[in-house]
A and B are shown apart, each in its own frame.
Chain A
Amino acid sequence: MAEKISFKLNGKPTSLTVDGDRMLLWVLRTDLGLTGTKYGCGKALCGACTVVVDGRAVRSCVVPVRSVNGKEVLTIEGLAKNGKLHPIQEAFVKHDALQCGFCTPGMILNAYSLLLRNPQPTREEIIQSMNNNLCRCGAHLRIIQAIESAAQEMKGAR
Chain B
Amino acid sequence: MKEDEFKVSECDYNDGLYPLSRREFLQSIGGGIIILFTVSDAPTAEASRSSKKERPDFNAYLRIAEDGRVTCFTGKVELGQGVMTSLAQTLADELDVPLKSVDMVMGDTALCPYDAGTWGSMTTPYFGPVLRAAGAEARAVLIGLAAVRLKVPKDQLDVKDGVVFDRTRKGRKVTYAQLAQGKRIERRLEQEPQVKSVSELNIIGKPHNRIDAVEKVTGKAKYTGDIRIPGMVCAKVLRPPAHGAKLRSLDTSAVDETEGFQVVRDGDLVAVLHKNPDEAENALAKIKAEYDVPEARFDDKSVFDYFIDNAADGRVVEKGGDIESGHKLAQDVVEETYLDSYVSHAPIETHTALAQFEDSKVTVWASTQTPFGLQRQLTRELKIPIESVRVIAPFVGGGFGGKISNGQAIQAVKLAKIAKKPVQLVWSRADEFFYDTFRPAAVVKIKSGLTDSGKIVSWDYNIYGMGNRGAQMFYNVPHHRTTVSRELRSGENMHPIGTGAWRAPDNNTNSFARESHIDVMANRAGMDPLEFRLNNLTDERMRGVLKAAAEKFGWTPAKAPSGRGFGIACGSDVNVPVALIAEVKVDKQTGGVQVKRVVCGIDLGLVINPEGAKLQVEGGITMGMGYALTEEVHFEGGRILDLSFGTYKLPRFSWVPQIETVLIKADDSPSKGGGEPPIICVGGVIANAIYDATGARLLQMPMTPERIKQAL
A binding-site residues for B, Cβ under 8 Å: 22-23, 25-26, 30-31, 33-43, 45-46, 48, 75-77, 79-80, 85, 89, 92-94, 96, 98-105, 108, 126-128, 130-144
Interface contact A100-B397, CB-CB below 8 Å = yes
Residues of A within 8 A of B396 (CB): 100
Interface contact A100-B659, CB-CB below 8 Å = no
Interface contact A99-B217, CB-CB below 8 Å = no
Interface contact B218-A134, CB-CB below 8 Å = no
Query: Does B161 have its Cβ within 8 Å of any Cβ on chain A?
Result: no
Q: How far is the CA of A16 from the CA of B618 in the complex (A)?
A: 44
Interface contact A136-B398, CB-CB below 8 Å = yes
Interface contact A142-B618, CB-CB below 8 Å = yes
Chain A min CB distance to B559 (Å): 32
Question: Interface-forming stretch among B345-353, B407-415, B449-457?
Answer: B345-353
21 example contacts (A-B, Cβ-Cβ < 8 A) are as follows A31-B276, A36-B218, A37-B219, A38-B223, A39-B350, A43-B429, A45-B645, A46-B348, A80-B218, A93-B217, A98-B213, A102-B348, A102-B349, A102-B397, A104-B217, A136-B346, A138-B619, A138-B621, A141-B618, A141-B622, A141-B656
Residues of A within 8 A of B220 (CB): 36
Residues of B within 8 A of A143 (CB): 653
Interface contact B213-A92, CB-CB below 8 Å = yes
Interface contact B622-A138, CB-CB below 8 Å = yes
Chain B min CB distance to A24 (Å): 10
Q: How far is the CA of A85 from the CA of B395 in the complex (A)?
A: 21
Q: How far is the CA of A41 from the CA of B624 in the complex (A)?
A: 21
Residues of A within 8 A of B275 (CB): 30
Of B209, B213, B348, the residue contacting A135 (CB under 8 A) is: B348
- Which chain A residue lies CB-closest to B678? A138
Interface contact A96-B214, CB-CB below 8 Å = no
Known: A39-B426, A137-B623. A100 touches B646 (CB 8 A): no
Q: How far is the CA of A37 from the CA of B429 in the complex (A)?
A: 16
Give the top 10 A-B pairs by smallest Cβ distance, nearest first: A36-B219, A100-B80, A102-B397, A138-B622, A101-B216, A138-B619, A99-B80, A76-B219, A35-B226, A26-B278
Q: How far is the CA of A108 from the CA of B221 in the complex (A)?
A: 15
Chain A min CB distance to B31 (Å): 32
Interface contact A23-B219, CB-CB below 8 Å = no
Interface contact B619-A99, CB-CB below 8 Å = yes
Q: How far is the CA of A139 from the CA of B82 in the complex (A)?
A: 12
Q: How far is the CA of A50 from the CA of B210 in the complex (A)?
A: 23
10 other A-B residue contacts (CB within 8 Å) besides A38-B348, A101-B215, A138-B620: A35-B226, A43-B646, A76-B218, A101-B397, A104-B217, A131-B653, A134-B348, A139-B619, A140-B651, A140-B652
Interface contact B218-A102, CB-CB below 8 Å = no
Query: Does B483 have its Cβ within 8 Å of any Cβ on chain A?
Result: no
Residues of A within 8 A of B218 (CB): 36, 76-77, 79-80, 85, 89
Instruction: Tell me which residues from 621 to 658 in chain B have a Cβ below 8 Å from any Cβ of chain A.
Output: 621-623, 644-646, 650-654, 656
Of A89, A96, A127, the residue contacting B653 (CB under 8 A) is: A127
Of A22, A76, A79, the residue contacting B276 (CB under 8 A) is: A22
Query: Does B251 have its Cβ within 8 Å of any Cβ on chain A?
Result: no
- Which chain B residue lies CB-closest to A34? B219
Residues of A within 8 A of B397 (CB): 38, 100-102
- Which chain A residue lies CB-closest to B614? A96
Of B209, B219, B278, B659, the residue contacting A94 (CB under 8 A) is: B209
- Which chain B residue lies CB-closest to A75? B219
Q: How far is the CA of A94 from the CA of B426 in the complex (A)?
A: 32
Known: A85-B217, A127-B654. A141 touches B278 (CB 8 A): no
Residues of B within 8 A of A39 (CB): 225, 277, 350, 426
Interface contact A48-B276, CB-CB below 8 Å = no
Chain A min CB distance to B182 (Å): 35
Q: How far is the CA of A94 from the CA of B654 in the complex (A)?
A: 23
Query: Does B615 have its Cβ within 8 Å of any Cβ on chain A?
Result: yes
Known: A41-B429, A43-B644, A141-B622. A98 touches B228 (CB 8 A): no
Residues of B within 8 A of A79 (CB): 218
Interface contact A144-B656, CB-CB below 8 Å = yes
Query: Does B81 have its Cβ within 8 Å of any Cβ on chain A?
Result: yes
Interface contact A103-B348, CB-CB below 8 Å = yes
Query: Does B513 have its Cβ within 8 Å of any Cβ on chain A?
Result: no
Interface contact B652-A131, CB-CB below 8 Å = yes
Query: Does B290 have its Cβ within 8 Å of any Cβ on chain A?
Result: no
Residues of A within 8 A of B281 (CB): 42
Residues of A within 8 A of B346 (CB): 136
Query: Does B435 have its Cβ within 8 Å of any Cβ on chain A?
Result: no
Interface contact A96-B278, CB-CB below 8 Å = no
Known: A102-B349, A103-B348. A141 touches B659 (CB 8 A): yes
Chain A min CB distance to B479 (Å): 39
Chain A min CB distance to B154 (Å): 39
Query: Does B507 have its Cβ within 8 Å of any Cβ on chain A?
Result: no
Interface contact A96-B619, CB-CB below 8 Å = no
Interface contact B278-A99, CB-CB below 8 Å = no
Q: Would you give the 0/1 interface string for B643-682, flagging 1 where the beta carbon is closer than 8 Å to chain A? A: 0111000111110100100000000000000000000000
Interface contact B217-A108, CB-CB below 8 Å = yes
Q: How far is the CA of A36 from the CA of B215 in the complex (A)?
A: 10
Query: Does B256 have its Cβ within 8 Å of any Cβ on chain A?
Result: no
Interface contact B219-A77, CB-CB below 8 Å = yes
- Which chain A residue lies CB-closest to B397? A102
Residues of A within 8 A of B645 (CB): 41, 43, 45-46, 134
